[in-house]
Structure 1
Amino acid sequence: MAVKDLVENTISENKIAIFSKSYCPYCKRAKSLLTSKFPDVQTKILELDELDEGSAIQDYLAEKTGQRTVPNIFINQKHVGGCDSVVSLDSQGKLASLVSA
């Protein structure tokens, strides 16, 4: 099960894991927010539209999280949701403590 291993390893080996699509405006906003606010934090971004197994990864993420859309974001191995969730956490002042936890 290579796809499952790829997803689980990406989540466990990086403080921030973003499953994205390169053309998605919500993905761009979330990636910009996270990489500009936390430039020194180990972040892995997988562009699903650029990977052969991208749709299989998206299927597995939907199964794992119940979320079919991108971006699909994990911080410290915790699923936080998509762009709106990250923006909301940031505006509530909760994002930095989640990342530094």
Structure 2
Amino acid sequence: MAAAKTKAETAISDNAVMVFSKSYCPYCNASKKLLTELGAKYETMELDLIDDGSAIQNALQEITNQRTVPNVFIAQKHIGGNSELQAKKSELPALLKAAGAL
């Protein structure tokens, strides 16, 4: 668990926008589509495509109290899932610009 938590925390701290996702998840795809449409530079970790994805998802639950994906971070701040990201649509350009992701 410690290695997965470190991997998740490193991904969050190393990227202005970090999306923990699953490749088949429609909510994850909606979040990535929104970020792409806004022109954001973001990093994605597809938890279903990596060996330690399940452990990373468990670590994310420990970090954020959220087990579901997508799990979105902007400027190392936990935004939440797709619903929360979509709800912040009007604020996103400013948040992304402040994070250096635009």
User: With structure 2 as the length reference, what TM-score do the two structures score?
Assistant: 0.90
Same amino acid, percent of matched pairs: 48
Aligned to 2:16: 15
Question: Which segments of 5 or more consecutive residues in structure 1 lack a partner in the other structure?
Answer: none
The 2-side partners of 1:85 and 1:38 are apart by 19
Q: After alignment, is 3-12 or 50-59 more displaced? A: 3-12
Number of corresponding residues: 97
The 1-side partners of 2:84 and 2:50 are apart by 25
Shift of 1:36: 2.2
Matches within 5 A, 1:8-47: 8-39=9-40, 41=41, 43-47=42-46
The 1-side partners of 2:84 and 2:39 are apart by 17
Task: Provide Cα deviations, 1:42-95, integer angstroms capped at 9, x if missing partner.
Answer: x110000001100100000001000010000000000000101111100xx111
Runs of 4+ in 1 over 4 A off after TM superposition: none
User: Cα RMSD between the aligned structures?
Assistant: 1.0
Question: Which segments of 5 or more consecutive residues in structure 2 lack a partner in the other structure?
Answer: none
Task: Provide Cα deviations, 1:5-47, integer angstroms capped at 9, x if missing partner.
Answer: 21111111111100000000000000111122124x2x11000
Considering fraction of residues, name the structure with more helix. Answer: 1
